[in-house]
Structure 1
Amino acid sequence: MKQLIKKFTPKFILSWYHYGLAILAKWFYDNPSGKMIVAGVTGTAGKSSTCYFIAQILESAGLKIGMTTTTLLKIANKEWLNDKKMTMLGRFQTQKLLKQMFKAGCTVAIIETSSEGIKQYRHMGINYDLLVLTNLYPEHIEAHGSFENYKKTKGELFEHLGKKTIIINADDQHADYFLDFPAKKKIKYNIKDWNNNWQMNLFGEYNKYNVIAAAKVAEELGVEENLVSQAIKKLKPLPGRLEFIENNLGIKIIVDYSFEPKALEKLYQTIDDIKYNKLIHVLGSTGGGRDKARRPILGKMASQKADIIIVTNEDPYDENPQKIIDQVASQVNKNKLYKILDRRAAIKKALELAGKNDLILITGKGAEQAICLANDKKMPWDDRTVVREELKNKV
């Protein structure tokens, strides 16, 4: 029903509806973001991790933090997994969380801000004080119509910010576009800002960018350099982001959120630092019309990297999941390929095929708490939990 309403309602009416809800929610909850410092993080990749690193650094400096991300929600000392399958929650949900943060004594709120959220005016009514841009590359193209539209949507957030503080990854090829927006203070960062005295216990060269961005935010909010350095040493990754699943079988198992080609490329580069015999990759691709073009690309990348590829269901939404699997598998070497519709069965198969010192890579969902099916239905799910359950069965 919701999809039918969207389909037949003129876009300008939907836009006013979303905008009106955002402003109404702001005043209904008494404008909570105006009573805290609000840091927004946007970009294509690294948003959630950057938010989480900012939160950890600020907390280590004694600040009380609230946070909303794709993966985790946080109010002061309480953290829980985001089970809504949305990066930005609905307008009333977001404002309610912001009010709860303020009432809990939080002085800083960190908001991961997505292009889809901006498109639906979920950022309206949030009084951002500073914005971070992690990077920008083609993604969500079918939702926005083109990369240019996607970039302009991100730009709307910087227009909304007004003359405050922006922190931009200067190594990104689109940095100048965002630096052109008026701001009271413009801070640029790049990989050369990495401090060799920092000790990071995180996998992935790309995490250096996320840590630098987080450090810039902390410095801007007055955290002393020595406290930032101490906090970086203790940083933890987000659940479901390059998360190793412990076991006593000698199999290396990683669950990761990477669901699009650029992120998968970085993940492959990261696992090059791990010694393993055979790589078994379990992957799929999202349905619901989400960037169909990437499906065969993901399959081709997996075929070039992995020894065994198991293509399975991910979040089919209203599409035929077998058709999505076939599209991903179309560019996979058939001698390496298994196509298994049931995601649990696919994970079980990977464990059956794995031997000591092999690496199983399970991508696409990370710590997400549901698989999205047709007619807005959700099936409770967590790749990490399923792996642990199947490991017990294997033993």
Structure 2
Amino acid sequence: MVRHVISTETERTSIRQFGKNKKNRRSLGCARDDRQPYSTMLFFIKDKIRSLVPRGLIALYHRLLSLAAAFFYGFPSRRMVVFGVTGTKGKSTVCYLIARILEQAGRRVGMTTTPLMKVGPREWLNVSKITMLGRFSLQRFLRRMDGERVETAIVESSSEGLAQWRQAGISYDVAVFTNLTPEHIESHGSWEKYMAAKGRLFAALHTRRPFRKKIRGKSVSKVAVANEDDPAASYFLSFPADEYWTFGMNPTAKNPRPERHLQIQDLELSPEGSTFAIKGVRFSLHLLGRSNVMNAAAAIAAASSGGISLETAAAALRAVYGIPGRFERIEEGQDFTVIVDYAHEPASFKQLYEAVAVLPKKRIIHVFGSTGGGRDRSRRPILGELAGRNADIVIVTTDDPYDEDPAAISAAVIAGARQAGKVLGENLLDILDRREAIRAAVRLAEPGDLLLITGKGSEQRMALARGRKIPWDDREVTRSAIHSGGATVEVIGKRV
């Protein structure tokens, strides 16, 4: 029998109140507001400058700023091989796997992704909540890589960053396309504009002589890599490049160079991960789900374009047991399974549920919210419906509300879950306080259950109004909840 006590005060608190005092910051499970006064001023100044630029000159404004940043830091990308990875899902994972394969081959690697930053052997969590760093930050980071003798840089390239021309001034050599699904459409205006923004990465593979580079005396080829199973692949492969590499499960390859098409064969999924073959070489992957097999294939294709053998790639992937905040298991001696993941939109929810289908479990308890700030409002009820159909207990909470009312966001998600048959107060809970939501889920979990906590992954901040960001880590909050035994839960309604 399950009952949940909802904090009415927390439930009714709007985003405009969060962060104004210590009490409300604690209600979000955070100790302090780490936004510095100068960052607030910078945020204000940048907004003012943008407002003064005529609409027709916005693109030029962004490009000039990016080129100025590259010039200021000495165009560091010209002295490294640069991989760019774009697509809707899987970018961070593909970047991570490329890095591991290149390191297995003896390369010195640098990387900037949503969850992780890397320069040579040093790695640390990305605390900025930005997938593709701002133009000056990105060039500064590339300069740091160059200064520390990095041979290959890997840049996760988001549609927002590409739309703002942050790629200008970066000499890309390998562009990788993972997949394309409807996300961020509202911010781009249309599907076509969203795809075109992603395409700018491939357009940055300048093949003209002035843009050629030599690394260690060898000319570097411009390479396009694409998921041939995705209908949008032909668009990304239409940009000029020296070589075109493709990957996928479809046996009918359109690549005119069969040796450059990596077909996934003999795929077997299991609770431990997957095994598959590419061109006769057997791969063992510890990451769950078909989507991660595709991510691995993307990384293998990208590395293969640089002359790395399939055997080397297989050895590297065998040693990968997890990626921060990407289907990350939390093991604290509990008798139920806990997974923290970044899934925050319909396609990733579907992939998540498909991946956990092979896991032994009694019930699925899913804790999640939806992002505010006007980001794809239409997906909120869809997320609720997907969770309602696939999870036994759904707990809706706050994600990154930005300047929206968390209660309004939650209401839209709950509407979708109710449409799927969930009953509020029984197998559907509304807990705006994310820390309390996770604690309640831990308390409800029984031996053999599967607890999913999604939306933020390994992110180190929660985004509030007016650019305010508060320290947060789902994984640490979950560990704390497990050790404390979760939240007090009363009984009401039916057994769930």
User: Shift of residue 10 of structure 1?
Assistant: 3.2
Give the residue type in structure 2 aligned to 1:393: S
- 1:170 equivalent in structure 2: 228
- 1:331 equivalent in structure 2: 416
- 2:406 equivalent in structure 1: 321
**CA–CA distance in structure 2, aligned partners of residues 321 and 206 of structure 1:** 31
Give the residue type in structure 2 aligned to 1:264: F
Cα distance per residue 1:235-256 (max 9 Å; x no partner)? 2332011111112230111100
User: Shift of residue 14 of structure 1?
Assistant: 3.2
Moved more, 276-285 or 233-242: 233-242
Is 2:190 the partner of 1:146?
A: yes
**CA–CA distance in structure 1, aligned partners of residues 450 and 311 of structure 2:** 38
Contact 1:22 1:92 in 2 (8 A): yes
2:300 to 209, 215, 223: 215
- 1:29 equivalent in structure 2: 73
Contact 2:362 2:448 in 1 (8 A): yes
Corresponding residue SS for 2:98: helix
Give the residue type in structure 2 aligned to 1:28: F
Give the residue type in structure 1 aligned to 2:470: M
Give the residue type in structure 2 aligned to 1:116: E
Corresponding residue SS for 1:331: helix
1:272 to 343, 357, 363: 357
Give the residue type in structure 2 aligned to 1:291: D
User: Shift of residue 227 of structure 1?
Assistant: 1.5
1:185-224 to 2 correspondences below 5 Å: 185-191=243-249, 193-194=263-264, 196=277, 197-224=282-309
Cα distance per residue 1:290-339 (max 9 Å; x no partner)? 00000000000000011111000000001111100011101222242110
User: Runs of 5+ in structure 1 lacking a partner?
Assistant: none
- 2:435 equivalent in structure 1: 344
Cα distance per residue 1:319-371 (max 9 Å; x no partner)? 11110001110122224211011000000010111111111100100000111
- 1:299 equivalent in structure 2: 384
Contact 1:303 1:336 in 2 (8 A): no
Cα distance per residue 1:162-216 (max 9 Å; x no partner)? 3321011100011111122222211121125235211112211111111111111
User: Shift of residue 16 of structure 1?
Assistant: 2.7
2:174 to 108, 117, 130: 130
User: Shift of residue 11 of structure 1?
Assistant: 2.6
**CA–CA distance in structure 2, aligned partners of residues 249 and 106 of structure 1:** 41
**CA–CA distance in structure 2, aligned partners of residues 142 and 10 of structure 1:** 22
**CA–CA distance in structure 2, aligned partners of residues 243 and 216 of structure 1:** 25
- 1:393 equivalent in structure 2: 484
Higher-RCO chain (CA-CA 8 Å, sequence separation at least 6): 2
More helix by share: 1
Is 2:467 the partner of 1:358?
A: no
Cα distance per residue 1:65-100 (max 9 Å; x no partner)? 000111101000110111111101111111111111
Contact 1:49 1:237 in 2 (8 A): no
Corresponding residue SS for 2:338: strand
1:231 to 316, 330, 337: 316
User: Shift of residue 277 of structure 1?
Assistant: 0.9
Give the residue type in structure 1 aligned to 2:386: M
**CA–CA distance in structure 2, aligned partners of residues 85 and 137 of structure 1:** 22
Cα 1:249–1:130 change in 2 (3 A) is closer
Find runs of 4+ consecutive structure 1 residues off by over 6 angstroms.
none
The root-mean-square deviation of aligned C-alpha atoms, in Å, is 1.5
- 1:312 equivalent in structure 2: 397
1:157 to 192, 196, 201: 201
User: Shift of residue 4 of structure 1?
Assistant: 6.6
- 2:32 equivalent in structure 1: none
**CA–CA distance in structure 1, aligned partners of residues 52 and 74 of structure 2:** 34
Is 2:108 the partner of 1:50?
A: no
Aligned residues: 395
**CA–CA distance in structure 2, aligned partners of residues 124 and 319 of structure 1:** 33
**CA–CA distance in structure 1, aligned partners of residues 146 and 234 of structure 2:** 35
2:241 to 158, 183, 201: 183
Cα distance per residue 1:92-113 (max 9 Å; x no partner)? 1111111111111110001110
Cα 1:32–1:3 change in 2 (3 A) is closer
User: Shift of residue 19 of structure 1?
Assistant: 1.4
Task: Give the TM-score taking structure 2 as reference length.
Answer: 0.77
Residue identity over aligned pairs, in percent, reads 46
**CA–CA distance in structure 1, aligned partners of residues 147 and 180 of structure 2:** 35
Corresponding residue SS for 2:283: coil
Task: Give the TM-score taking structure 1 as reference length.
Answer: 0.97
**CA–CA distance in structure 2, aligned partners of residues 107 and 62 of structure 1:** 10
Contact 2:99 2:154 in 1 (8 A): yes
**CA–CA distance in structure 2, aligned partners of residues 262 and 270 of structure 1:** 12
- 1:257 equivalent in structure 2: 342
Is 2:121 the partner of 1:77?
A: yes
**CA–CA distance in structure 1, aligned partners of residues 49 and 148 of structure 2:** 38
User: Shift of residue 18 of structure 1?
Assistant: 1.7
Contact 2:84 2:201 in 1 (8 A): no
**CA–CA distance in structure 2, aligned partners of residues 263 and 63 of structure 1:** 32
**CA–CA distance in structure 2, aligned partners of residues 282 and 353 of structure 1:** 12
- 1:39 equivalent in structure 2: 83
